[in-house]
C-alpha cells in the first residue's frame, strides 16, 4: 500500500436524483423569497447563503491523506492538519470522521475532520486503519 491516498468527493455527481430534487427545492425557496420580499437582493443573498452552506455537496472536494498529514481542499478554503491531532476514527456509510478524542464525545463533530467517500469506501477505510494501527504499534 502507498504512503498517500488522494481522491475527489463529489456527492452531487453520484446522487443525481437527490441533486435534481434539491435543485427543485432550492428554486422553490428562491421563488418564495422573491414573492415574500419582492427584492432581487434578498434572492441573491439567499442564493449565496445556500451555495456556501451546500458547497461540499454541489462542488468537488479534494482529499489527500498521508501517513502524517491530512489535507482537504474545499471550494473556498483548504484545511491541512497533522494526523497526530487525531486519536480515533469512526467510519459510516458516507465517510470517516477523524476524532481528536480517544473515545466517543459529543464534541467530535465540531473538532473532528470528516473525510467523505467517493465510491472508494474500502480503500479509504483500509488506509485510515493502516495509519492508526501503525501508530499503535509505534507507541
Convert the pLDDT of each residue in 101-118 to its tens digit. Answer: 998 899 998 999 999 999
Domain residue spans in the chain?
4-9+61-138, 12-56
Sign of the torsion formed by the C-alpha atoms of 127, 128, 129 and 132: positive
Residue reference for cell 467530535: 108
Give this prediction's pTM.
Answer: 0.85
Evaluate whether 97 touches 90 at the Cβ level (below 8 Å). yes
Return the CATH architecture of domain 4-9+61-138: Roll (2.30)
pLDDT tens, residue by residue, 51-89: 999 999 999 999 999 999 999 999 889 999 999 999 999
Amino acid at each position: 500500500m502507498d504512503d498517500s491516498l488522494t481522491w475527489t468527493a463529489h456527492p452531487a455527481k453520484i446522487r443525481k436524483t437527490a441533486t435534481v430534487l434539491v435543485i427543485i427545492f432550492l428554486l422553490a425557496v428562491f421563488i418564495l423569497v422573491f414573492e415574500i420580499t419582492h427584492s432581487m437582493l434578498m434572492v441573491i443573498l439567499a442564493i449565496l447563503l445556500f451555495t456556501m452552506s451546500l458547497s461540499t455537496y454541489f462542488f468537488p472536494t479534494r482529499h489527500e491523506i498521508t501517513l502524517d498529514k491530512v489535507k482537504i481542499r474545499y471550494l473556498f478554503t483548504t484545511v491541512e492538519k497533522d494526523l497526530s491531532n487525531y486519536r480515533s476514527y469512526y467510519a459510516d456509510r458516507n465517510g470517516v470522521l477523524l476524532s481528536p478524542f480517544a473515545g466517543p464525545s459529543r464534541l467530535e463533530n465540531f473538532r473532528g475532520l470528516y473525510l467523505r467517500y467517493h465510491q472508494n469506501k474500502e480503500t479509504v477505510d483500509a488506509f485510515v486503519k493502516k495509519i492508526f494501527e501503525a501508530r499503535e504499534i509505534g507507541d
